Amino acid sequence: MTSPVRTAHTADLAPAELEAVRDLLDVAFDGDFGDDDWDHGLGGMHALVHDDAGLAAHGAVVMRRVRHRGRWLRTGYVENVAVRADARRTGLGGLVMAELERVVDRGYDLGALSASDDGARLYTSRGWEQWTGQVHALSPRDGIVRLPDEEGGTYVRAARAGSLDPGRELVFDWRDGDVL
């Protein structure tokens, strides 16, 4: 039996819950999930779904700042979305995303995420739009740097920001592990 989605801030998750989330992510991303990836999903709101076998699905939304058209937008950035292998294609990813979207829509100017090819279908089916413009980050050492590897894999949800102009870049705040 699947539980309803539970939403909690990182500070309200017990150490054992955080360990279960990290374990789920390590397995779901097949060894391509590092400490920086883990750190990026902490400090915000988590959506968790449990079933009889334990943690079945997870996602988080953390605050970032993104500059667009000269304005820094409060951005709910979706991170660490995963569904346990035996629970995939059962709607749990959609349940998690619905809760994260509620947080984004009510608390932020903009929603954003970086999607794998496998994850992109989930996000576009829920109305997230692939960003067709340039993507940059504000580096502490080099100023604004372009992130061509993020272009095509960045998705946005306008929330309160209204329409966005893909002719103008998105400039994300800096996070360790984003650019080597």
Structure confidence by residue, pLDDT tens digits, 70-96 = 999 999 999 999 999 999 999 999 999
> How many angstroms separate the CA atoms of 122 and 145, rounded?
29
Strands (E), 22-173: 45-51, 54-68, 71-83, 110-114, 129-130, 135-139, 143-146, 154-157, 170-172
Name residue 48's beta-bridge partners: 6, 58
- Give per-residue pLDDT as tens, 144-177: 999 999 999 999 998 888 889 999 999 999 988 7
> How many angstroms separate the CA atoms of 149 and 126, rounded?
23
Q: Which of 69, 70, 80, 73 is nearest to 13 (CA)?
A: 80
- Give per-residue pLDDT as tens, 103-144: 999 999 999 999 988 889 999 999 999 999 999 999 988 999
**SS3 for 154?**
strand
Q: How many CA atoms lie within 13 A of 91 on its CB side?
A: 4
